[in-house]
Amino acid sequence: MKYMKLNNGIEIPIVGCGTNTYGKEENQYSGALRGDTQEVDWAIENGYRHFDSAQLYLNEEVVGNGIKKSSLPREEFFITTKLNTFEGFGGAEWAHAEIEKSLEKLQTDYIDLFLIHKPWDNEAEMVEAWTILEDYYNRGVFKSIGVSNFEKEHLDLLLENSSITPAVNQIKSQVGHWNDTLIDYNKSKEIATVAWSPLKGIDENAQQILEEIGNQYGKTFAQVVLRYQIERDVIVIPKSHNKERQAECLAIFDFELTADDRDRIAAL
């Protein structure tokens, strides 16, 4: 595994495991919890130690139960979760209550990376929410703090009104929407980029090109995409309900793309 050092010195595995449908009936995002941790168990067996969860997914306990069941030390894992701000901000008391619920569901007394999941149309509230995250960070409950789905103007708001620079901005970056401009801006501010759903957006034409590239290395089109992302210092969190495909997503450290291949991928 390759690690990236965040702006506070914390190291994060550059490949993590998405979890938004894990433990749910029919593997559906809106499905009820099945009561098992099968996908997390497989991921841990495959070597994943970085798990990306969120309050919005309504399954943080699946990650928590799977990690506890593994009997591996908590410090071997890097856990991300996110404050659910898709309907805005419910105030300080609400935020504290939601954070405590996350800690309880994940069965941990600290979270490696805690994010604001989405910006909303109230600058004062966003600054207030960030200040709450800073407090948890300063107390050691959060080892790193960051944001998700933030654009330049949202990042600027926090940078101008806070004492701690976000460690991470988790954004859309995938075939057809590499989001280079925002990634470059993140880098300029020493904010690491995490790509959510990094294997989406691949149409038939793109898949054919990626397979042609992959054949040169004995790799799948998915492995080529993930390799492209990590070569541009983007952290990826692929997700699969298949144990073998989970393993494939980790098998991307034994080859390197040529400059020509990177250019072909960038053009997709």
Active site residue ranges: 57
- Tokens 């939601």 sit at which residue? 98
Question: 42 in helix, strand or coil?
Answer: helix
Tokens linked to 222: 């998915």
Q: Residue 161 carries which DSSP code?
A: S
The dihedral sign for the CA sequence 246, 248, 252, 254: positive
Q: Is the dihedral of CA 135, 140, 142, 147 positive or negative?
A: positive
Q: Under 8 Å CB-to-CB from 75, ≥6 apart: which residues?
A: none
Pairing of strands 3-5, 11-13: antiparallel
